[in-house]
Amino acid sequence: MGFIRQVIVIMQKDLRAELRSKEAINAALSFALVILLMFSFAFDPSAEQTREISGGLLWIVFAFAGALILNRSFSREQPNDCLDALIAAPISGAALFLGKALANCVFVLALEAVCFPLFGIFYNTHWTAQFWPLVMVAVLGTWGFTVIGTIFSALTVNLRLREVMLPLLIYPLMIPCLMAAMQLTAHLIAGQPLSGDILVWLRLLIGFDVIFTTLALILIDTVLVG
């Protein structure tokens, strides 16, 4: 079985397990909905303010709700010692990691696909002016988020206080990625094109993705096996 095939098998396994139980995705979706509602009660913004805060608001929702999905990614394998079986399976740690990261990325993107229209409805905002650039930013930001989240999901799986430690460790690490995604999203929702000063954030986002994906692929075996 080739590397790509292994990655796809792991991803399919995770997607299927989650779609059958729906425990993480349901929790994350309802949590995202609650945060979106709370923000609209708390700030009651005008149209102009909404465009300004849109990036920050949406990515905080994705980061908070996404953490619920990431928390489950490796802890799901704990009952019946599934994690030990996965590590012992004849696939590399990198394939296991990539498969899980891709599955998490799909879940968080699905969450975002629900949140963007909801945001448009609740906050009465036209958000599709720069649709495809926005999709690209969402994919890049989500990949950065899930790469960090997945490797730290593996790192914290055996810790005491796992649910607390994961957000505590990953949010500070993600700040450059989230900050870039927030700036770009606010910029695109305001209908402005991707050019000029804003490109420095796009470069930061891409650089973040490349650096952390490489680091995670190098270090995953150490995290899993020790």
Count of residues touching another protein (by CB under 8 A): 21
Taking each helix axis from N to C end, the angle separating 131-156 and 199-225, rounded to the nearest 10 degrees, works out to: 20
Q: Which of 67, 101, 181, 223 binds another protein (CB under 8 A)?
A: 223
Does position 226 interact with another protein (CB under 8 A)? The reply is yes
Does position 155 interact with another protein (CB under 8 A)? The reply is yes
Is the distance from CB of 69 to CB of 32 less than 8 angstroms?
no
Closest distance between another protein and the C-beta of residue 11, in Å?
23
User: Residue 57: enclosing H or E segment and its boundaries?
Assistant: helix 47-75
Nearer to another protein, 71 or 130 (CB): 71
- The single residue listed with the structure tokens 């270090």 is 219
**Residue 196 DSSP class:** G
Measured distance CA(51)–CA(221) in Å, rounded: 43
By CB under 8 A, the residues from 168 to 197 that bind another protein are 168-169, 172-173, 175-176
Q: Which of 158, 191, 193, 210 binds another protein (CB under 8 A)?
A: 158
The piece of 36-44, 71-79, 157-165, 185-193 that touches another protein (CB under 8 A) is 157-165
Is the distance from CB of 42 to CB of 83 less than 8 angstroms?
no
Nearer to another protein, 79 or 226 (CB): 226
Measured distance CA(77)–CA(174) in Å, rounded: 25
Measured distance CA(146)–CA(66) in Å, rounded: 8
Nearer to another protein, 23 or 84 (CB): 84
User: Residue 78: enclosing H or E segment and its boundaries?
Assistant: none
Nearer to another protein, 37 or 168 (CB): 168
Does position 198 interact with another protein (CB under 8 A)? The reply is no
Measured distance CA(1)–CA(178) in Å, rounded: 36
Q: Which residues bind another protein (CB under 8 A)?
A: 148, 155, 158-161, 165, 168-169, 172-173, 175-176, 200, 211-212, 215, 219, 222-223, 226
